[in-house]
């Protein structure tokens, strides 16, 4: 044989020559040359001790085993042994190769190997098992049921390494078994951010499909978005009640919200496929008001290479038809560059056209003028089409566009002129009333234009509106009758049409001409022309044979014709899921899975419940959660009390009670106290603030409406009391980045169990949002429990009011944040601080001279007091007399810079720099007394 030398090398006792041989063989495979005759010589080396030889043999085996099944079986025992190797890499690669050998006879061996590997201690081996599932399934689909069992098992796996691969297997083997996902849904949502990027794409696509079968549509009209995470803890009866309510107001399922929230950070992924996956998820699942958050990230992808641009632009094109608003702010990002490939140019043009509206059309038309002049004539022609579409969609500019197109009729480039004619024809059809002049102008062009489709369009126009140009039309027919034999078929047909129409409207002048044309048509080479001629003659020229139809000839030829619709070619694409191959191709690709319509009634959400122990949240981006410590350096001692208070140990609870007695509210406090609280919270008086600082806690008590007060007093008498106090934990909120984190401690002061403590109706000022706590099933007498909630105060001190409900009763609670709690500390160097401060002068600066009590003038005291009063970060300072603090507002992230500069004679200058001037001045007012009091 010709590969004799290679065979000899493989038989050699030296590993180096074996390796050389294997390298040459792999080179042959790479080039697509046939190396199958070497199979027996190669397979002998499958158990080589040299790991590189072994790997190359694997490469060879995977390529040729299918062709040499009998010989391939010789290698199986080696792999079976390797599956038990203590080294996980060896176990995994043995499974990889074994499952890649497409030899049906080893199906049972593969099945066994997969089952074992799916329980392997190494997640890497389990990942490989998930891959092997798909391989076995394509080799022998009959194994499906057994494989589904393995999939079910691996879906429960908590390793981020396995998640993507097993979901991939699920998608290939049993995508319809949605039931396998329920119990793993929340885990997948939580793990998502830590899964490798490819797995993320697969999981996001699967969860998109899942969500569309499990949740009700967030797009219904009169949608009220509420953050209510209660329902899956409720009993069946309550659930039924809820269901009835759903018909009135829409409440997003908390699991639906979980998916949206956990995918959002992935918009910042470096991987374009991940970003697109999240974008399509938001498009298909998010309330319409939220889908807009993906625009910016999609526009960012346009700076990537041309292939990514191509796919992203296609998807934006589809989105921009339905929801213009999403991309309008990025209009200029779609401007075309002369160096863009034609396919990119055309897509950008498509998007620009979709985005055109009354406000931007004049800018756009100016931009289009540049494109019309492009050297790329195909693109210039597409631009003319685009102008036509703008003209029909935006009536204000129809005339402007039409005039612009008419100007193009004198362009030197024939393609441009031809395209303009075609578009003008369509436009005139929509409103022919007063465009006689344009038609005349176009008639003149006939002498110069040679492009058939343009000539045909002009002739059709003249024929259709021949009564508006009675003098010119017969003349055009005369001219074209002369050139008839040399015209393109398309043009010939229109000459015949023109003749027919003139014959019917102006037979005196055109009868002979038309008959002449009909005679030419009768002997034309094209049978289409001959047929058409015969047809027309029968219709318009009356003779004894012609039937009843000729009476209606005029009605037939000159019927009012509907104007053509100028629509986006992307209009039809939206029935494919965005981001899919099918969407790109605009036809259903093999294996495309339809996205189902939202169900009318959501299936039971309890299906997704798992025993608490099973839900595992592990956030890599959160793991190093030292962020809070970073803020509070220099203030650790006093903050500690704060934290200890909220830990669950009995000890700290006792301490907490001591500290916070004053804050206790609702039914347990007497009416005088609560009314004073109420008034103080309204006025934001200084004394209120002071009392906060005294208690060592910047929280403020809940107050209630007067109406309820009596009721609660009564309850108290009956021994039914529920005390709730809250405070601001000063940590980033876990429920949403714009929310202020609030912790509520609920205490049962009665002698009976209180059940089902939950949040009822919320009354929030416009724009504010609230994320309630999970319902507390029951609270024993004397028991107390602390729960977290998040409120987005929109950087304002407006009050959030909501109902705190129990099984039997409900209380109104209002929370009004002190301005200092609307902040989160920022770490910053002195230099940074000065720089930022330099940019926030003038209107953004507020200052006041304040008195400083002598005992308050030392650095530690100033820092302690200021930080106590407002959630500020300390900026290291080089000067002893100047103290700087920095924070940002929770909602908008605007900087809030505070400077305290000690002056002589017990005064200080207090300066606040911020864009948020309103809360800046409130903060100034609240900080003023902080240092003056002892």
CA dihedral 21, 23, 24, 25 (to 10 degrees): 90
Q: Are 304 and 272 in contact (CB under 8 A)?
A: yes
- Residue of 290, 328, 809, 836 interacting with another protein (CB under 8 A): 836
Q: Is 597 helix (H, G, I), strand (E, B) or coil?
A: coil
Of 255-263, 406-414, 475-483, 747-755, which segment contacts another protein by CB under 8 A? 406-414
Q: How far apart are CA 797 and CA 614, in angstroms?
A: 40
Tally the C-alpha atoms within 13 A of residue 539's C-alpha that lie toward its C-beta: 21
CB of 343 to another protein, least distance (A): 6
- Report the residue number, 527 or 621, with the smaller CB distance to another protein: 621
Interaction between residue 661 and another protein (CB under 8 A): no
* 138 binds another protein, rule: CB under 8 A: yes
| Member of 7, 19, 287, 515 binding another protein (CB under 8 A) | 19
Q: Contact between 145 and another protein (CB under 8 A)?
A: no
| Minimal distance, residue 833 CB to another protein, in Å | 10
- Using CB under 8 A, pick the residue from 176, 307, 544, 650 that binds another protein: 307
CB nearer to another protein: pick between 272 and 768: 272
CB of 800 to another protein, least distance (A): 22
Q: Is 13 near another protein (CB under 8 A)?
A: no
CA–CA gap between residue 848 and residue 523 (Å, rounded): 100
C-alpha to C-alpha distance for 189 and 306, rounded to whole angstroms:
32
534 vs 831, which CB is nearer to another protein? 831
| DSSP bridge partners of 911 | 847, 899
Rounded to a whole number of angstroms, the minimum distance from the CB of residue 302 to another protein is: 10
Q: CB–CB of 295/331 below 8 Å?
A: no
**CB-count exposure of residue 480 (10 Å: 0-12, 13-18, 19+):** buried
Interface residue with another protein, options 343, 359, 616, 853 (CB under 8 A)? 343
**Separation in Å, CA 64 to CA 26, 59, 72, 76, 713:** 12, 9, 8, 14, 85
Q: Between residue 240 and residue 269, which ones bind another protein under the rule CB under 8 A?
A: 265, 268-269
Among 1, 32, 854, 878, binds another protein (CB under 8 A): 32
Stretch of 106-114, 341-349, 662-670, 775-783 contacting another protein, by CB under 8 A: 341-349
Should residue 27 be labelled a site residue for another protein when binding is judged by CB under 8 A? yes
> 353 or 580, CB closer to another protein?
580
Q: Tell me if 706 contacts another protein by CB under 8 A.
A: no
The minimum distance between CB 480 and another protein, in angstroms, equals: 26
The helix or strand, by DSSP H or E, that contains position 836, with its residue range, turns out to be: helix 830-839
Residue numbers 184-203 binding another protein by CB under 8 A: 193-194, 196-198, 201
Q: Looking at beta carbons only, is 847 or 892 nearer to another protein? A: 892
What does the H/E/C string look like for 200-263?
A: HHHHHHHHHHHHHHHCCCCCCCCCCCCCCCCHHHCCHHHHHHHHHHHCCCCCCCHHHHHHHHHH
Q: Which of 12, 119, 338, 718 binds another protein (CB under 8 A)?
A: 338
User: Using CB under 8 A, which of the segments 58-66, 146-154, 532-540, 655-663 binds another protein?
Assistant: 58-66
Interaction residues for another protein, span 66-105 (CB under 8 A): 66, 87-90, 92, 96, 99-100, 102
Considering only residues 353-372, where is the footprint of another protein by CB under 8 A? 367, 370
C-beta closer to another protein: residue 5 or 808: 5
Quick one: which of 698, 732, 790, 818 contacts another protein (CB under 8 A)? 732
Query: Pattern of binders to another protein over 168-187, x per CB under 8 A?
Result: x-------------------
CA angle, residues 802, 186, 258, in degrees to nearest 5 = 40
Q: How far is CA 217 from the centre of its chain?
A: 16
H or E, element range at 191 = helix 185-191
| Angle formed by the axes of helices 507-522 and 472-483, nearest 10° | 20
- Within 8 A by CB and 6+ apart from 520, the residues are 481, 484, 485
Exposure letters 822-842 (e unless 16+ CB within 10 A, then b): bbbbbebeeeebeebbeebee
* DSSP-based three-state secondary structure for 656: helix
Map the footprint of another protein across residues 889-908, applying CB under 8 A: 895
**Binding span for another protein by CB under 8 A among 220-228, 308-316, 675-683, 815-823:** 308-316
User: CB atoms < 10 A from the CB of 567, how many?
Assistant: 12
553-612: which residues touch another protein (CB under 8 A)? Answer: 579-582, 584-585, 587, 589-593
User: Which is nearer to another protein, 199 or 521 (by Cβ)?
Assistant: 199
């Amino acid at each position: 044989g010709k590969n004799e030398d290679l065979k000899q090398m493989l038989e050699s006792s030296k590993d180096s020559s074996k390796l050389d041989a294997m390298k040459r063989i792999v080179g042959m495979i790479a080039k697509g040359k046939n190396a199958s005759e070497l199979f027996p010589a190669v397979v002998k080396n499958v158990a080589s001790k040299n790991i590189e030889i072994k790997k190359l043999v694997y490469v060879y085996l995977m390529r040729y085993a299918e062709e040499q099944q009998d010989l391939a079986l010789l290698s199986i025992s080696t792999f079976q042994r390797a599956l038990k190797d203590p080294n996980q890499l060896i176990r995994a690669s043995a499974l990889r190769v074994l499952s890649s050998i497409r030899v049906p006879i080893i199906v049972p061996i593969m099945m066994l190997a997969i089952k074992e590997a799916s329980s392997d201690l190494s997640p890497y081996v389990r990942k490989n098992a998930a891959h092997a599932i798909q391989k076995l399934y394509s080799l022998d689909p009959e194994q499906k049921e057994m494989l589904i069992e393995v999939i079910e098992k691996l879906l429960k796996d908590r390793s981020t390494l396995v998640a993507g691969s097993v979901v991939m297997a699920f998608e290939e083997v049993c995508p319809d078994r949605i039931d396998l996902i329920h119990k793993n849904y929340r885990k997948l949502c939580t793990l998502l951010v830590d899964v490798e990027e490819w797995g993320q794409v697969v999981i996001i696509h699967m969860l998109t499909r899942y969500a569309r079968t499990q949740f009700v549509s967030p797009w219904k009209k009169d949608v009220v978005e509420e953050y209510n995470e209660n329902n899956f803890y409720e009993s069946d009866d309550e659930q039924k009640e809820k269901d009835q309510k759903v018909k009135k107001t829409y409440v997003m399922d908390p699991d639906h919200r979980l998916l949206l929230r956990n995918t959002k950070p992935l918009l910042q992924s470096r991987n374009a496929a991940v970003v697109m996956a999240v974008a399509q998820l938001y498009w298909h699942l998010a309330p319409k008001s939220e889908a807009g958050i993906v625009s910016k990230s999609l526009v960012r992808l346009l700076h990537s290479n041309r292939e990514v641009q191509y796919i992203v632009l296609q998807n934006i094109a589809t989105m921009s038809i339905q929801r213009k608003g999403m991309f309008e702010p990025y209009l200029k990002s779609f401007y075309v560059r002369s160096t863009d490939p034609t396919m990119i140019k055309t897509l950008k043009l498509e998007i620009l056209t979709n985005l055109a509206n009354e406000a931007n059309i004049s800018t756009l038309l100016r931009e289009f003028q540049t494109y019309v002049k492009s050297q790329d004539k195909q693109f210039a022609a597409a631009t003319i089409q685009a102008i036509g579409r703008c003209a029909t969609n935006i009536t204000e500019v129809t005339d402007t566009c039409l005039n612009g197109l008419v100007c193009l009729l004198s362009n030197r480039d024939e393609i441009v002129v031809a395209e303009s004619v075609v578009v003008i024809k369509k436009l005139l059809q929509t409103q022919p009333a007063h465009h006689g002049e344009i038609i005349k102008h176009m008639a003149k062009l006939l002498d110069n234009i040679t492009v058939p489709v343009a000539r045909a369009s002009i002739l059709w126009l003249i024929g259709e509106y021949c009564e508006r140009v009675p003098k010119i039309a017969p003349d055009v027919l005369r001219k074209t009758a002369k050139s008839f034999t040399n015209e393109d078929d398309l043009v010939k047909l229109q000459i015949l049409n023109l003749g027919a129409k003139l014959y019917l409207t102006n037979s005196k002048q055109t009868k002979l001409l038309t008959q002449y044309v009909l005679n030419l048509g009768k002997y034309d080479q094209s049978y289409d022309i001959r047929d058409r001629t015969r047809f027309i003659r029968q219709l318009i020229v009356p003779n004894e044979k012609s039937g009843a139809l000729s009476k209606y000839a005029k009605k037939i030829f000159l019927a009012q014709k509907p104007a053509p619709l100028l629509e986006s070619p992307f209009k039809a694409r939206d029935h494919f899921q965005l981001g899919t191959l099918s969407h790109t191709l605009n036809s259903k690709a093999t294996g495309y899975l339809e996205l189902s319509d939202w169900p009318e009634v959501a299936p039971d959400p309890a299906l997704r419940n798992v025993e608490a122990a099973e839900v595992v949240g592990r956030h890599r981006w959160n793991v190093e959660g030292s962020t809070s410590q970073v803020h509070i350096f220099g203030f650790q001692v006093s903050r500690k009390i704060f934290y200890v208070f909220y830990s669950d140990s009995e000890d700290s609870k006792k301490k907490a009670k001591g500290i916070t007695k004053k804050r206790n509210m609702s039914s347990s406090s007497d009416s005088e106290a609560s009314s004073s609280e109420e008034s103080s919270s309204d006025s934001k008086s200084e004394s209120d603030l002071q009392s906060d600082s005294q208690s060592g806690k910047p929280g403020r008590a809940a107050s209630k409406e007067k109406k309820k007060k009596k009721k609660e007093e009564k309850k108290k008498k009956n021994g039914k009391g529920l005390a709730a106090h809250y405070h601001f934990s000063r940590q980033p909120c876990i429920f949403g980045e714009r929310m202020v984190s609030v912790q509520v401690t609920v205490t049962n002061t009665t002698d009976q169990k209180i059940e089902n403590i939950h949040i009822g109706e919320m009354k929030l000022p416009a724009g504010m949002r609230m994320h309630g706590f999970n319902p507390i099933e029951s609270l024993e007498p004397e028991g107390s429990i602390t729960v977290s909630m998040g409120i987005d105060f929109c950087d304002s001190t407006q009050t959030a009011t909501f109902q705190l409900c129990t099984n039997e009763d409900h209380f109104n609670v209002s929370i009004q944040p002190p301005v200092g709690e609307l902040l989160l500390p920022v770490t910053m160097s002195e230099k940074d601080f000065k720089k930022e401060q330099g940019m926030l002068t003038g209107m953004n600066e507020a200052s006041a001279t304040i008195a400083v009590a002598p005992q308050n003038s030392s650095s530690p005291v100033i820092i302690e007091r200021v930080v106590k009063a407002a959630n500020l970060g300390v900026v290291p300072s080089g000067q002893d007399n100047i103290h700087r603090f920095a924070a940002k507002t929770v909602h908008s992230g605007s900087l809030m810079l505070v400077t305290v500069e000690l002056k002589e004679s017990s005064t200080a200058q207090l300066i606040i720099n911020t864009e948020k001037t309103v809360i800046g001045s409130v903060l100034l007012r609240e900080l003023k007394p902080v240092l003056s009091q002892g």
